A = this chain, B = another copy of it.
Amino acid sequence: MPNIQRLNTIDADFWPRLEALTAWEGVADQTITATVREVLAQVRSRGDDALLEYSCRFDRLNLAHAADLEIPAARLHHALTVISAEQRTALAMAAARIRSYAERQKLESWRFTEADGTVLGQQVTPLDRVGVYVPGGKAAYPSSVLMNAIPAKVAGVPEIIMVAPTPDGALNELVLAAAAVAGVDRVFTLGGAQAVAALAYGTATVPRVDKIVGPGNIYVAAAKRQVFGTVGIDLIAGPSEILVLCDGRTDPDWIAMDLFSQAEHDEDAQPILISPDTAFLQRVQEAISRLLPKMERAEIITASLHRRAAMIQVRDLSEAAQVVNFIAPEHLELSVERPEELLPLIRHAGAIFMGRYTAEALGDYCAGPNHVLPTSRTARFSSPLGVYDFQKRTSLIYCSPIGATTLGRTASILARGEGLTAHARSAELRLP
């Protein structure tokens, strides 16, 4: 049975232990960085030829022409007919809820006029073209396609390019169906750093995008980090995490299964339970031991529980909130009687699931809010993926002749203070 670390806030070494528990070095090592740099350079200089070579080497695809890298739109729509009716309905329901929540995130342009006629404002526009990376293999998730592509569509992005590796040519029907539902415009069978390079620099076949989003392995993450600046990127995601804060009165089986639901993602996923109730922690431990053997992904769950899980005993719920704020969890369940009362104490979290009925898994698929969330304590400074990630702002300034006079005098003083006299003169020339 899994040996889950226990921490207690009354222990003298609690905070250092918590820091060690939650530390995660997502940074690629120098070998990976160098490999990725070479892949990027090859695709940048040799374009489609490099893509075909890498697809042959890594995905065992023998394609004659770069055009074969594209999956035709008709094939996406075909996928919709291959999946079950139940799945089709579920995808459509999830998409509708994700879209409806996203609509509320849309930024709007604004402007205002000052007394002297000067106008200031902020203009909001969508990105021209976005790339969505969808991993292959064990992490090929249709829900991820919906969560990355729909906010871009809602933002008004005219063209969404999806890339997904298809090792040995195996297509995932649910992923293709999700692309059709989400309104993805073009799909290429590309993965790894070469896919990121193709999106960032463009090739004769793959159009260059303005921003790349979506999760990927360490090579994909390293490639995104390296092309950042040439294109925009979303956050570099670490392993998934769940932090359950429970008052001790939720069914322990529910809590055990919620912890499993993150643990089953991968061996480095981090499930943590916080409670002021020692007996409850013990009951969840027993539920874990009882339920684990029946889980399909028991091996992955066990590894995650051993490596990175913890049960943290706290004095009370307000101390629990302090621990939450240190961890800044990707997913936070407030499995307590009155979650609203705790909410004002929580400063950092990707998403908060309030009340005993709100399983984190609902948020992964269909509640509406995005499941792409900041991991590894980055919720201290970043936000869920949203419509705003596919919009950008432009400042607007119109100075009336009078406004240019008032502002010009101030600008001139400050510019001269900085030794930037061309700035000063440019303002002064407009003075009466």
Contacts and interface: CB of A to CB of B under 8 A. Distances in A.
A284 interface: no
A303 B220 CA distance: 39
A430 B257 CA distance: 11
A424 interface: yes
Contacts of A396: 343, 351-352, 354, 369
A347 B392 CA distance: 10
Contact of A352 (B112, B360, B392, B394): B394
A425 B350 CA distance: 23
Contact of A398 (B210, B355, B376): B355
Contacts of A251: 429
Contacts of A91: 414
A217 interface: no
Contact of A104 (B110, B236, B263): B110
A253 B339 CA distance: 64
B426 A261 contact: yes
A168 B25 CA distance: 37
A397 to B, nearest CB: 5
Contact of A384 (B128, B295, B364, B395): B395
Interface string A58-100: 0000000000000000000000000100110011011000000
Nearest to A393: B383
Interface residues of A, number: 120
Nearest to A86: B413
A289 B395 CA distance: 32
A349 interface: yes
A51 interface: no
Nearest to A26: B229
A381 B417 contact: no
A64 to B, nearest CB: 29
A236 B228 CA distance: 9
A1 interface: no
A56 interface: no
A407 B229 contact: no
A285 B133 CA distance: 47
Contacts of A408: 359, 362
A381 B157 CA distance: 11
A35 interface: no
A379 B394 contact: yes
Contacts of A383: 392-394
Contacts of A301: 422
Interface string A284-309: 00000000000111000100000000
Contacts of A215: none
Interface in A400-432: 400-401, 403-404, 407-408, 410-411, 413-415, 417-427, 429-430
A32 interface: no
A357 to B, nearest CB: 4
Interface stretch (A6-14, A118-126, A183-191, A310-318): A118-126
A414 B260 contact: no
B94 A353 contact: no
B127 A394 contact: no
Contact of A369 (B120, B140, B417): B120
Given A368-B120, A380-B128, A397-B367, A257 B418 contact: no
Given A123-B352, A263-B422, 19 more contacts: A26-B229, A90-B410, A91-B414, A94-B410, A101-B120, A104-B112, A104-B122, A105-B122, A174-B417, A210-B380, A231-B381, A357-B400, A359-B408, A360-B426, A361-B426, A362-B397, A363-B397, A365-B414, A365-B415
Interface of A: 26-27, 83, 86-87, 90-91, 93-94, 101, 104-105, 110, 112, 118-120, 122-123, 125, 127-128, 140-143, 174, 210-211, 225-226, 228-229, 231-232, 235-236, 251, 253-254, 257-258, 260-261, 263-265, 295-297, 301, 339, 343, 346-355, 357-370, 373, 376, 378-384, 386, 388, 392-401, 403-404, 407-408, 410-411, 413-415, 417-427, 429-430
Question: Considering the complex of A and B, which 3 residue pairs feature the smallest CB-CB distances, nearest first?
Answer: A232-B381, A369-B395, A260-B422
